[in-house]
């Protein structure tokens, strides 16, 4: 699970920072479209959310057997599946797609499969109470 969380952290921190700094460029690369107005701060909010997910994955990478880590991987499964659906639908419905749209869809699909495969064999360590708040 450590490898998944490390890879996820790198991907999401990178994507989050890119959206925070240059949301218009990221959307152009993904969807081949321009954004303006309210879409720009919304893109930055999405960037902050991805940055937060990446940091959470980075911090959890050492607690592979903790129930909270299982919850984080479950959340990342849902996020990756959602990204596949939303980005895939955008690519199918649009006449144009950005240069990184389909690679991003494939990456999220692979990450979702990786998350789900780990969750199917996940057995949290409930004997130590590690990570429990006092």
Q: Write out pLDDT tens, residues 83-134.
A: 999 999 999 998 778 999 999 999 999 999 999 999 999 888 776 655 443 3
Q: What pLDDT was estimated at residue 71? A: 94
DSSP-based helix, strand, coil % in the chain, nearest 5: 75, 0, 25
Q: For residues 24 and 43, give the distance between their C-alpha atoms in angstroms, rounded to a whole number.
A: 8
104 is written with which tokens?
A: 């991003």
Q: What pLDDT was estimated at residue 131? A: 47
pLDDT tens digit sequence for 22-62: 999 999 999 999 999 999 999 999 999 999 999 999 999 99
Helices (H), ranges, 94-130? 101-120
Q: What number is the average pLDDT over the span 9-18?
A: 98
Residue that the structure tokens 């700094």 belong to: 21
Model confidence at 76, pLDDT cuts 50, 70, 90, reads very high
Q: What pLDDT was estimated at residue 128? A: 60
Q: For residues 27 and 94, give the distance between their C-alpha atoms in angstroms, rounded to a whole number.
A: 13
């Amino acid at each position: 699970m450590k490898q998944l969380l490390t890879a996820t952290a790198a991907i999401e921190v990178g994507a989050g920072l890119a959206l925070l700094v240059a949301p218009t460029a990221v959307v152009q690369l993904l969807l081949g479209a321009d954004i303006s107005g309210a879409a720009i701060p919304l893109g930055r909010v999405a960037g902050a959310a991805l940055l937060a997910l990446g940091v959470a994955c980075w911090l959890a990478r050492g607690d592979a057997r903790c129930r909270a880590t299982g919850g984080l991987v479950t959340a990342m499964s849902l996020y990756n599946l959602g990204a596949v659906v939303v980005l895939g639908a955008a690519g199918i419905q649009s006449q144009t797609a950005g240069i990184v749209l389909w690679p991003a869809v494939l990456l999220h699909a692979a990450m979702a499969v990786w998350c789900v495969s780990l969750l199917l064999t996940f057995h949290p360590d409930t004997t130590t109470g590690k990570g429990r708040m006092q």
